[in-house]
Amino acid sequence: MTQKIALVTGASRGLGAAIALELAARGWHVVAVARTVGGLEDLDDRLRALALPGAGGLTLAPMDVTHDDAMRHLCRSIHDRWGRLDLWVHPAVHVAPLAPAGSLDQKDWEKSIATNVRATGMLIPMVEPLLRASATGTALFLDDARAGQPFFGAYGASKAAQIALARSWQAETQRIGPRVRIATPAPMPTATRGRFFPGEDRGPLAEPATEAARILAGL
């Protein structure tokens, strides 16, 4: 059986890392993209520590999704090596600090747009041909529905724009592929949520590994 190939953009921490690890544990080969080398190396260490028979592998790709040429080179390398992608998971996101809309930091605003919106719009045309080359090519986006909430202006607006783009792609490709899926994760004790709710009781929150398994089962 041909090994399944996945691209996870934003794989060094939180749900992205959990999804990458879950896929690799199931025998997939995962191309793991993130800006932090240490986070990717930790992901690789975690997979090796599992020592699972039949586990897949990781290709660590320390790069920034906002760098167009790097992303083009990566997609070309995936094409040259495997000729396709069976799954693209895109949890990469810039999390701007909470602030009133009238006090947005312009650098954070611009970085939110660059990472959450522009990079997504650049990646879809690069990744789509790779997904179409697979009989089961699927793209997965993650929506946490923060749009319009107080103090979530930069994050909520840019994330909502990303999901709107994904929904348009989903409608356009419903008959011709690739499949586009949008999942809403349960609240998890991630670093991102910790920035939003620093004093929150984390006991009731879902573990990223549990959410990763649940979301992938839905695919």
Mean pLDDT along residues 51-64: 93
Tell me whether strands 179-183 and 138-142 are parallel, antiparallel or unpaired. Answer: parallel
CA distance 168 to 147: 17
Q: Mean pLDDT check: name the lowest of 14-23, 47-56, 88-97.
A: 47-56
- The one-letter code for the residue type at 188 is M
Kindly report, residue by residue over 134-144, the tens digit of the pLDDT. 999 999 999 98
Give residue 159's pLDDT band: very low, low, confident or very high (50, 70, 90).
very high
Q: Domains plus CATH for the chain?
A: 5-213 (3.40.50.720)
155 is catalytic: yes
Kindly report, residue by residue over 111-141, the tens digit of the pLDDT. 999 999 999 999 999 999 999 999 999 999 9
Region for 64 from its dihedrals, namely left if φ exceeds 0, alpha if ψ lies in -120 to 50, beta otherwise: beta
Give residue 192's pLDDT band: very low, low, confident or very high (50, 70, 90).
confident
pLDDT score recorded for residue 1: 57
Q: Which helix (H) or strand (E) holds 67?
A: none
Give residue 146's pLDDT band: very low, low, confident or very high (50, 70, 90).
confident
Q: Could you give phi then psi for residue 155, rounded to 5 degrees?
A: -70, -50
Evaluate if residue 147 carries a pLDDT over 90. Answer: no
CA distance 187 to 144: 9
pLDDT score recorded for residue 199: 87
Burial 181-210 (b: 16+ CB within 10 A, else e): bebebeebbbebbeebeeeeeeeebeebbe
Q: Which of 28, 109, 155, 196 is catalytic?
A: 155
